[in-house]
Amino acid sequence: MVAVNRQVLLASRPQGAVFADNFRIVDAALPSIGAGDVLVRNEWLSIDPYMRGRMSDAKSYVPPVQIGEVMVGQTVGEIVESADSRFAPGDKVLTQLGWQLYGVAKADEVRKIETSHVPTSYYLGLLGMPGMTAWFGLLDIGQPKAGETVVISAASGAVGSVVGQLAKLRGCRAVGIAGGPAKCEYVVDELGFDACVDYKRGALYDDLRSACSNGVDVDFENVGGEVLDTTLRVMNRYSRIVLCGLIAEYNATEPYGYKRLRSVLVKRIRMQGMIVFDWKHRYDEAIAGLSRYFAEGKLKYRESVTEGIDNAPQALIGLLRGENFGKQLVKLA
Amino acid sequence: MVAVNRQVLLASRPQGAVFADNFRIVDAALPSIGAGDVLVRNEWLSIDPYMRGRMSDAKSYVPPVQIGEVMVGQTVGEIVESADSRFAPGDKVLTQLGWQLYGVAKADEVRKIETSHVPTSYYLGLLGMPGMTAWFGLLDIGQPKAGETVVISAASGAVGSVVGQLAKLRGCRAVGIAGGPAKCEYVVDELGFDACVDYKRGALYDDLRSACSNGVDVDFENVGGEVLDTTLRVMNRYSRIVLCGLIAEYNATEPYGYKRLRSVLVKRIRMQGMIVFDWKHRYDEAIAGLSRYFAEGKLKYRESVTEGIDNAPQALIGLLRGENFGKQLVKLA
């Protein structure tokens, strides 16, 4: 059997929304490995909002994907071949191999994962970047105190769903914002948030106001745009905004014009941007905490699985439209 | 001699810019005092940007002035009559008696001031709210480290001029933003900032970029609007924004739409609103620090004096247009 390495390349940079023709699918030869390398067969690909940023050449916190390069992304898979004594074929590993079926990584950049208690794919979500983003963003920046109200936008998503559950575990009132009744029901009935506001109803301010009768002490912001600008109206004095994502802006050709910045002054709000990489030295702490809550049955988690690498572009396009429901993954093998 | 208490009342709420007819000047009888009160003859009235907010009934951190009420404001003056053993006629005091020639205050709300080393009026500026705003905003929120670049908008104003000098004293590069060549020259030549950008030249981004070749680590923001939105473009990773004032917005009928909020996320900026009242329990610390620097000749300070209470409305109107040069005061006696 000759394995073929199917890859998704960036074909062109999107102007506004992402379309299928921004990608090109190719079959490449299986890469070969050198000393200290491992060859990995990717099993799961994580699809995340930040990928929209990497498709663009606007200045950001990391360089963009170049045209003709394999799209970036976090992956979990199985070692097929190893030229490093720490890894053997069959080991499950967490990697950054991108949108392709196989990849070669330096053994130093690969992390072995423990899959006896949790599914492999969870290392891309609950125990991966989204879970850790929720953990450090809420606890380190949001600093919620028991009894406070925490609002979470994109509440049914990979990050938001964990944030709200952690907020509840800390004794807070958790209020989600999500699109459509199905997601809102899930957020309240399954995840245990106290309330969830459907922004698609078109009455965000009134709905937020009535769901947060004591105002908002922490806003964990994944969406931005109108959602953030409206949330600013219900923030309390000395409240905190964890600026984690601005998905509402990613596909826009013009940035949103925020009109409520004055609230930050008047209410002495602290707004802080976050990228989870800044907590790299503390990842173990988050994984331990999240694993413990999960083992105790205190954290629920949902995945939205797209089958096959050929459908990866559609998975990202859907995610950017809010069509996913829980952590978006592509099953590669 | 029968003294008359001339007062400036709020006559109507401005829509956008403030005009003289938003005020009414009246002569009232001298107020009489009860037990525990003092009667003060006001000598200096402080004119500050926040007063625009009090003229409006939009929700803010304190209630607005009601129509027909005396305009609020900080004052220094001399005790004329005292029904409290701690004060005697002739004592100089810091008060909140507003836009009028005389006023009655509870002795508990009056603060005796030491005028042997500094002019009385300095307690409305360098050693008053503006100086303390500069002190706590820069040091507590901005947290500048030696070698960092601090940008200060409204750099020649009562707050900005102190911020920049404190930044220099902490070993930082201080870059001002001010309107017109005269203010910019003053900021650099008299106050000792490293550079000052004239926003009226119409090339703010390019000028800021070249004045801040290592980017900006702290933005002490007094202006907002286009100035803040442009400064966001040159902020460094992990930088801080002290959101102290938004004078560019105060007279606007529509709030400004900030387009660069994405920088806060991508660069992990911490933006925090401040109102100096929150440091009330630490005012002495700022007064001691500022007095020491002033005594050592390390802090320069400029006042813009309008003569007579009848001209107080014009003083505020001019301030909101950026016509003042240094701390704006009205000399009442």
Q: What is the pLDDT of residues B12-64, one digit of tens each?
A: 999 999 999 999 999 999 999 999 999 999 999 999 999 999 999 877 778 89
- CA-based nearest residue to A49, from A332, A322, A314: A322
Chain B contact for A252 (CB, 8 A cutoff): no
Q: What is the structure's pLDDT at B219?
A: 98
Evaluate if residue B1 carries a pLDDT over 70.
no
Q: What is the structure's pLDDT at B2?
A: 63
Of B243, B264, B268, the CB nearest to A278: B268
Side chain identity at residue A95, one-letter code: T
Q: What is the pLDDT of residues B73-87, one digit of tens each?
A: 999 999 999 999 999
Evaluate if residue B164 carries a pLDDT over 80.
yes
Chain A contact for B280 (CB, 8 A cutoff): no
Counting as low any pLDDT under 70, the low residues of chain A are: 1-2
Q: What is the structure's pLDDT at B89?
A: 97
Is residue B215 within 8 A of residue B231, CB to CB? The reply is no
- CA-based nearest residue to B127, from B177, B92, B178, B172: B92
- Burial state string for B169-205 with b = 16 or more CB within 10 A and e = fewer than 16: ebebbbbbbbbeeebbebbbeebebbbbbbbeeeebe
Q: What is the pLDDT of residues B294-329, one digit of tens each?
A: 999 999 999 999 999 999 999 999 999 988 888 999
Name the superfamily (CATH) of residues A4-125+302-331: Medium-chain alcohol dehydrogenases, catalytic domain (3.90.180.10)
> Residue A289 burial (CB < 10 Å; 0-12/13-18/19+)?
middle
Q: Which residue of B has its CA nearest to A236?
A: B61
Query: Domain-by-domain residue ranges, chain B?
Result: 4-124+302-331, 129-277
Evaluate if residue B147 carries a pLDDT over 90.
yes
Q: What is the structure's pLDDT at B63?
A: 87
Strands of chain A, DSSP E: 4-10, 23-29, 37-46, 75-82, 92-95, 102-106, 111-112, 149-153, 173-178, 195-198, 216-221, 235-243, 270-273, 303-307, 327-331
Of B257, B273, B278, the CB nearest to A258: B257
Q: What is the average per-residue pLDDT within B125-148?
A: 97
Neighbouring residues of B203: CB distance < 8 A, sequence distance ≥ 6? none
Q: Read off the DSSP letter of residue B56.
A: S
Q: What is the pLDDT of residues B103-119, one digit of tens each?
A: 999 999 999 998 888 89
In what helix (H) or strand (E) does residue B44 lie, and over which residues does it extend?
strand B37-46
Cβ-Cβ contacts under 8 Å, B237 against chain A:
61
Contact across the interface for B259 and A255, Cβ inside 8 Å: yes
Spell out the alpha helix ranges (H) of B103-259: 129-136, 160-169, 181-185, 204-211, 225-231, 247-250
Chain A contact for B187 (CB, 8 A cutoff): no
Chain A contact for B106 (CB, 8 A cutoff): no
Q: What is the structure's pLDDT at B60?
A: 73
Contact across the interface for B257 and A262, Cβ inside 8 Å: no
State the CATH class of domain B4-124+302-331.
alpha beta
Evaluate if residue B177 carries a pLDDT over 70.
yes
When the candidates are 3.40.50.720, 1.20.210.10, 3.30.70.100, 3.10.150.10, the CATH number that belongs to B129-277 is 3.40.50.720
Interface of A with B in 34-93 (CB under 8 A): 59-61
Q: How far is CA A287 from the centre of its chain?
A: 15
Q: What is the structure's pLDDT at A2?
A: 62
DSSP string, A99-149: SBSEEEEEGGG-EE---SSS-GGGGGTTTSHHHHHHHHIIIIII---TT-E
Q: What is the structure's pLDDT at B62?
A: 80
Q: What is the pLDDT of residues B230-256, one digit of tens each?
A: 999 999 999 999 999 998 988 788 899
- CA-based nearest residue to A302, from A176, A191, A192: A191
